[in-house]
Structure 1
């Protein structure tokens, strides 16, 4: 299985999925926001993956995420989020990195997305 296929499979498994690195402050911000809203995201800490895994370790997954984030923002997000984390998927679809998540939260579109994905009930 390619790293891209692995990301797609992992992202579609739960209502909200966060790809993170344990020491990343922006990843922490996104996880705290979601937890504070009552969402229990599935979190994959990529620095804890085995890079010798034939299906693609954390480094390969992170490279795929950086590419997806750059595509999703018209290339602009790639420079800002070259690390590829945090990457947040809601309902199996890429929402984006920290800027997209915070922007969605501020403009009021995050809660409806979370409700539609089944991550929030109120």
Structure 2
């Protein structure tokens, strides 16, 4: 859990992904193209201790990727990100975290 906590504290927008997950690519594209955000992307298939971090994310309630953190706060997966966007709370959250400036 410590590794995940450290990673999410270092950047305003952090996304945990896997290369085998098409939704991971979609959520990265969503943040980049819609908001001009530059997320820190941690591919659990490629990083050292990726399996351990995957287990830590699972303990937080997310067995699947992508998992998104904004301003150190767990937002969740695609459904939670989409819900926040539709309700209008995603952009203010990104601004407060310093992930976007527009």
Could you state the TM-score of these two structures normalised by the residue count of structure 2? 0.93
1:23 to 20, 24, 28: 20
Q: Secondary structure at the match of 1:22?
A: coil
| Higher alpha-carbon Rg | 1
Unaligned runs of at least 5 residues, structure 1: 51-56, 71-80
Q: Which residue of 2 aligns with 1:60?
A: 52
- Out of 66, 74, 83, the position equivalent to 1:94 is 74
1:39 alignment counterpart: 37
Q: How does 1:66-81 map to 2 (within 5 A)?
A: 66-68=58-60, 70=61, 81=62
- 1:5 matched to 2:9? The reply is no
With CA pairs under 8 Å and 6+ residues apart, which has the higher RCO, 1 or 2? Answer: 2
Partner of 1:82: 63
Q: Tell me, which stretches of 5 or more residues in structure 2 are unaligned? A: none
| TM-score normalised per structure 1 | 0.78
**What displacement does 1:35 show?**
0.5
Q: CA deviation at 1:23?
A: 2.0
Q: Paired residues, what number?
A: 101
Runs of 4+ more than 3 Å apart: none
